[in-house]
Structure 1
Amino acid sequence: MKKLLIIAAAILLCIAAIPSKAAAQPSVSARNAVLMDMDSGRVLASKSAHERRPIASITKIMTALLAIESGRMKEKVKISEEAVMVEGSSLYLEKGETLTLEELVYGLMLRSGNDSAIAISQFIGGSTPEFVAMMNKKAKQIGMKNTVFMNPHGLDDPQHQSTAYDMALLTAKAMDNLEFEKIVGTASYKTKSRPLRVWENKHRLVREGGRITGGKTGFTKRSGRTLVTTAKQNGLHLVTVTLDAPDDWRDHQALFDNGFISYRLVNVVEKEPFKVPGEHDFFYAKKMVRYPLTEEEKKIAYVRIVLDQKKDKSENSAELWIGDEKQMEVPIYRSKKQETSFFEKVKGVLD
């Protein structure tokens, strides 16, 4: 049996969470758009973000992530005839030449090489169909509920579809990988293999730098312009995804401007043990929990502590609520260590 303790204070926090229903619909050229906080998963703005659509070359985010996670980036890959013959954007690879997997991933993400995508899929999966099965398995693990991959490059296929929201989930997962983050944030890259190739990133905002940390472009006649961009400012790590967006560069900058101006991170639960009124034990979270809120949301946000009366159990949690909407739930654990009281921590946040 559990008892409920409500700590009604204007505090906030963040950990993997339920997206707020209050996400604004932005005024953008895109048919589909989402602005998401990558650390918490909170959706800050959206427009038809769960509509399934063709996604073109932003597909390659999944292809790159699987390649990097294979741990084989320094191995050499021999280019097949099938890779050379694929249509669309190309690195102009030649049959029989060899490049490292790392070089192919750079070419994949900076120049959107479809030949690179096929070469990677054959090397990692043994065959392209087997690699596509890996892509769909990974999508399911990430929680991409409205995504089906049919190829590793994103060329049009009636069944090859995703959503702005699912692609934001994928990008947030991928950006947790430091090697992926480095590659997609690279403005230009020079191969070590011969012939020497120099690739400039097609993503204009990545080349411009500043708060932009990475991204991927995409286009087919069927999908229109698709774009993924990540940015970091004031401790916030945001991702924007647009599908079928004629003015996508402007859309992304406007969405980031709004997100960074409107939201701030606030600590609610930390790793250090804290005291809960009426309890002899102390409590702690396994990691610091933060959440992005607007100034108006801070006025109506509170944390609700739910404790299990059986002290040998660990089913305790801290819930973040904004008004009558539950945003997320974080497991908390009992500790005998004495530290700053919970209310002192809350006071420190509010001061």
Structure 2
Amino acid sequence: MKFKTVIISLIILFLINSISYSSPEIDAESGLLIDVKSGRILYTLNPHKKLPMASTTKIMTALVALENGKLDEKIKVKKEFVGVEGSSIYIYEGEEISLKDLLYGLMLRSGNDAAMLIADNVAGDTDKFIELMNNKAKEIGALNTNFTNPHGLEDENHYTTAYDLGLITREALKNDDFKEIVSSKSWTADRDKNNYFYNKNKTLWQYEGGDGVKTGYTKRAGRCLVSSATRSGMQLVSIVLNDGNWFNDCYKLLDYGFDNYKPYFLYDEGQFIKNIKVEDGSKEYLPVVTNTSCILPLKEKEKENIKITIDLPEKITPPIKEGKVLGKISVYLNGKLIYASDLISKEEVKELNFFTKLKKSL
């Protein structure tokens, strides 16, 4: 009996390891798993396929509004934005509501009316706001994305990819206000009625460490979901487009990430790299430091295949301001670039005046 128990235990252990280290199978038309801190992509399925994304559009709507609007500003509701098709927070003509409350209504209740009112207020009209959305997409490298509205209702020219949506979400999660909004299970707005917003994103309740981000659904787009979770200091975002098993598949991707990858510290922000020789400057040498930290999600076996390269000039000529970009630090895994950041001057170096240069040469 003991022999059989050992055999069964070994089989179970083998199956668990097999499940953990194999890429998950999902029902989505397109999918992606990305690490927020480093931007490393841990899983893809048709990542560059252009697809409609329904209300996950509102991730960009919120980001653009937060970067260009004022949270405490009160906005008076125009008649034209009352009764917008689809999900609603039921704004009414003449109501005054803050941008902050509108953003909670946008991301928790997926209010299409909130999206239109936000766009009109922040940019002056919706067309200008959509232009801001598309410009922001290009700025962060989401080149296969096109927005035609701020809410995600169906339009054949309104599309993104799982890869682009990963870039957009990662950028949005750098904003503290955005992070706070999407991780909120509920919100009570300063309104006379319809003031309680309950988050539609079940990730916050169902998944350990769940902290965002957005659901979406239309007949054409199918079920779309961007789920975020943080464990042991590592925040991962899973994305599925057109997936009937949307929540479970996002959880599968998150499980895969947390089971197989652990955050691995490579260097800290402000870490000293080397001193560079200064010609004709107020200092003989200038210390160079990193401008960001690097914490990468890695499998245990990947650590030995990491290589870091430093690209810096041998000498520099002033004037050099503190924080000036002087070079690059690049991280490679199996010969492939997976992370890069700037190397900057730690101090200011001034140019020597003519008489000091002359004295020095003599």
Above 0.5 in TM-score? Answer: yes
| CA-to-aligned-CA distance 1:22-48 (integer Å, 9 cap, x gap) | xx8641111110000111111000101
Q: Deviations over 1:107-166 (max 9, x none)?
A: 111111111111111111211111111111111112111110000100000100001111
Of residues 310-319 and 131-140 in structure 1, the stretch that sits farther from structure 2 once superposed is 310-319
CA contact (8 A) 2:273 2:290 kept: no
8 Å CA contact retained: 1:265, 1:291:
yes
Q: Which residue of 1 aligns with 2:339?
A: 328
Shift of 1:210: 3.5
Give the deviation of 1:319 after TM superposition: 2.3
1:284 equivalenced with 2:283 (yes/no) = no
* Number of residue equivalences: 310
Describe how 1:234-245 pairs up with structure 2 within 5 A.
234-245=232-243
Aligned-partner Cα distance in 1 for 2:70–2:84: 24
Is 1:273 aligned with 2:284?
no
Counterpart of 2:48 in 1: which secondary structure?
coil
- Residue type of the partner of 1:206? L
Whole-Å separation in 2 of the counterparts to 1:312 and 1:293? 39
8 Å contact kept, 2:102–2:114: yes
Q: Any conservation in 2 of the 1:269–1:284 contact (CA below 8 Å)?
A: no
Supply the distance in 2 between the matched residues of 1:74 and 1:331 (Cα, whole angstroms). Answer: 36
* 1:198 and 2:203 matched: no
Q: Secondary structure at the match of 1:102?
A: helix
* 1:184 matched residue in structure 2: 182
Distance 1:236 1:172 in 2: 13
Residue matched to 1:97: 95
- Please list, as runs of the form range in 1=range in 2, the aligned pairs for 1:120-131 lying within 5 A after superposition: 120-131=118-129
Shift of the 195–265 alpha-carbon distance from structure 1 to 2, 3 Å rule, reads same
User: How far apart, CA to CA, are the structure 2 residues paired with 1:78 and 1:331?
Assistant: 44
Does residue 211 of structure 2 align to residue 213 of structure 1? yes
For 2:86 and 2:201, locate their aligned partners in 1 and report how far apart those are by CA, in whole Å: 17
Contact 2:83 2:90 in 1 (8 A): no
> C-alpha distance in 1, partners of 2:333/2:194?
55
The answer to whether structure 1 residue 295 and structure 2 residue 294 are counterparts is no
- 1:234–1:260 CA contact under 8 A, matched in 2: no
Q: Which has the higher contact order (CA 8 A, sep 6+)?
A: 1
For residues 333 and 137 of structure 1, the distance between their equivalents in structure 2, rounded to whole angstroms, comes to 28
C-alpha spacing 1:315/1:202, structure 2 compared with 1 (3 Å): same
Q: How does 1:329-348 map onto structure 2 within 5 Å?
A: 329-333=340-344
Q: Which residue of 1 aligns with 2:30?
A: 32
Residue 275 of structure 1 deviates from its aligned partner by 5.7
The offset of 1:76, in angstroms, is 1.4
Q: Which amino acid aligns with 2:295?
A: R
Point out where structure 2 has 5 or more consecutive residues left out of the alignment: 1-21, 276-284, 319-324, 348-362
Match of 1:319 in 2: 330
- What residue in structure 2 maps to residue 76 of structure 1? 74
5 Å matches for 1:233-272?
A: 233-270=231-268, 271-272=270-271
**Deviations 1:180-220, CA, capped at 9 Å, x for gaps:** 11111110111222125211101111244640111111000
Q: Deviations over 1:214-270 (max 9, x none)?
A: 111100000000111111111211111110011011111111111112112222233
Is residue 31–residue 242 contact of structure 1 (8 Å, CA) maintained in 2?
yes
In 1, the alpha carbon distance for the partners of 2:116 and 2:341 equals 41
Moved more, 75-84 or 236-245: 75-84
RMSD value, Cα:
2.2
Q: Distance in 2 between matches of 1:104 and 1:331?
A: 37
CA spacing shift, 1:126–1:281, aligned 2, 3 Å: closer
Q: 1:57 aligns with which of 31, 34, 55?
A: 55
- Distance in 2, matches of 1:193 and 1:157, equals 32
Identity of aligned residues (%): 37
Determine the C-alpha separation between the residues in 1 that align with 2:243 and 2:113. 26
1:113 alignment counterpart: 111
Shift of 1:283: 4.5
Give the letter aligned to residue 203 of structure 1.
N
Sort the Cα spacing of 1:309 and 1:196 in 2 relative to 1 into closer, same or farther, 3 A.
Answer: same
170-179 or 71-80: which moved more? 71-80
Matched residue of 2:255: which SS? helix
Question: 1:308 is paired with a residue of what secondary structure?
Answer: coil
**2:69–2:122 CA contact under 8 A, matched in 1:** no
Q: Which moved more, 1:244-253 or 1:88-97?
A: 88-97
3-state secondary structure, aligned to 2:200: coil
Residue 130 of structure 2 aligns to a residue whose secondary structure is: helix
Note if contact 1:266-1:290 (Cα within 8 Å) is conserved in structure 2: yes
1:304 alignment partner, SS class: strand
* 2:314 matched residue in structure 1: 309
* Residue deviations 1:57-110 (CA, integer Å, cap 9, x gap): 010111112222234111111222221132111122222222111111111111
